[in-house]
Structure 1
Amino acid sequence: MLTPFDISCPYCGEPIEILVDASAGDQHYIEDCQVCCRPIALSIQIDADGEPQVIAASEDDA
């Protein structure tokens, strides 16, 4: 099941929505910003209640 999650781009600061698949467990991947097209390093961890926690960082900070 895909869950929408709002983040802010670490480069341009614009709010963007990503879709998180909580059934896939913890994840780390790169997704381009929908506004400025720069690569965002996403770290997704699933807590004990099954809720995703998302950290978005610039590629250099990851």
Structure 2
Amino acid sequence: MPTTALTERAARAALAAHFSPRQVAAQLARHRAEDVWQYGVDHDTSGRLARYKPREELANAQLTC
């Protein structure tokens, strides 16, 4: 399985796009956002998280700001 390693900013954007703060707050208090995102991708049986492209979304957001 290819890695989906992200920067802190991209991982937080990805988490925010797919989870409510309540869903990830406890995990983020103990782990880096990149690790929380990777755990989610690794344990997502639907594959929806692995298909998400947060880097592209961030790049598009920066262009429109």
TM class by smaller structure:
under 0.3
Greater RCO (CA < 8 Å, at least 6 residues apart): 2
Would you tell me which structure has more helix in proportion to its own residues? 2
Q: Please, what TM-score do these two structures have when normalized by structure 2?
A: 0.21
Q: Please, what TM-score do these two structures have when normalized by structure 1?
A: 0.21
